[in-house]
């Protein structure tokens, strides 16, 4: 394989990652919109998007393996390809968690007896941006953007703490709504995990650029 062809396939890899990131954004958006609108059909769209994310993961895995087998990559290329393979694992899990949210929403939407906590919507906006920015940081080789994604996880964690407090108050005021509160808490927990996966992606971006993973700095 010529270097030009190799570069073309690296560009294809970037486009595929962007597309997978967009699917993750759409899945998160559909799951949370379904929650806000109490709409079963929108929740089912999120579940369908999760299947598309799985297909995209397999496509990118194949492309990465082809790049590794058809040419001996230099160290920088190897970091880029190996980081991509790590990133798609986290993106696939983001899709899973968006689908998990949707599966919780479906019976809640049928009952139509709840109000979405404000901080859940705020978490959803923040985590979608984290996913978008982490993939953009990879494509643009932007370590500063990756660092901002990592830092923004504190914002998501803070809102998760507020959701816990808000739902705890709701249970104290009306114990009969305890089961509903636990379902909403699980949704918030899945969003918090999505934020964690976006952080993982951003950390692999830093590795692809610098050759040093943030975990390697711990204790130094």
- Measured between alpha carbons, how far is 211 from 202 in angstroms, rounded to an integer? 13
Given the structure tokens 């696939």, which residue do they identify?
92
- Angle at the Cα of 120 from the Cα atoms of 33 and 104, rounded to 5 degrees: 60
Among 38-52, 177-191, 203-217, which stretch is predicted with the lowest mean pLDDT? 203-217
First CA to last CA distance, the chain = 40
Indicate if the pLDDT at residue 96 is higher than 90.
yes
Q: Which domains does the chain have, with CATH numbers?
A: 3-215 (1.20.58.220)
Look up residue 149 and give its two tokens.
């994604």
Q: Which residues contact 16 (CB under 8 A, 6 or more apart)?
A: 56, 59, 60, 63
pTM, full prediction? 0.90
- Please tell me the number of Cα atoms within 13 Å of 181 on its side-chain side: 16
Contacts of 197 (CB under 8 A, 6+ apart): 90, 91, 93, 94, 97, 131
Q: Give whichever of 49-58, 102-111, 175-184 has the largest mean pLDDT.
A: 49-58
Q: Which two tokens stand for residue 41?
A: 């059909």
């Amino acid at each position: 394989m010529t270097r030009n062809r190799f570069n073309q396939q690296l560009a294809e890899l970037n486009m595929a990652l962007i597309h997978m990131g967009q699917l993750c954004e759409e899945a998160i958006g559909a799951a949370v919109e379904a929650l806000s609108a109490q709409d079963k059909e929108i929740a089912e769209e999120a579940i369908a998007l999760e299947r598309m994310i799985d297909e995209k993961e397999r496509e990118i895995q194949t492309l990465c393996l082809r790049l590794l087998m058809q040419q001996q990559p230099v160290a920088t290329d190897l970091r880029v390809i190996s980081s991509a393979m790590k990133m798609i694992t986290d993106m696939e899990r983001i899709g899973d968690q968006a689908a998990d949210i949707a599966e919780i929403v479906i019976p809640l939407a049928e009952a139509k007896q709840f109000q979405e906590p404000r901080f859940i919507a705020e978490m959803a906006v923040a985590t979608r941006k984290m996913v978008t920015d982490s993939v953009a940081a990879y494509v643009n080789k932007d370590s500063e953007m990756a660092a901002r994604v990592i830092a923004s996880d504190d914002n998501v964690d803070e809102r998760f703490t507020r959701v816990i407090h808000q739902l705890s108050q709701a249970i104290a005021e009306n114990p009969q709504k305890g089961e509903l509160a636990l379902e909403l808490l699980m949704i918030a927990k899945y969003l918090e995990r999505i934020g964690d996966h976006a952080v993982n992606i951003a950390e692999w971006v830093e590795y692809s650029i610098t050759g040093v993973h943030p975990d390697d700095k711990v204790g130094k």
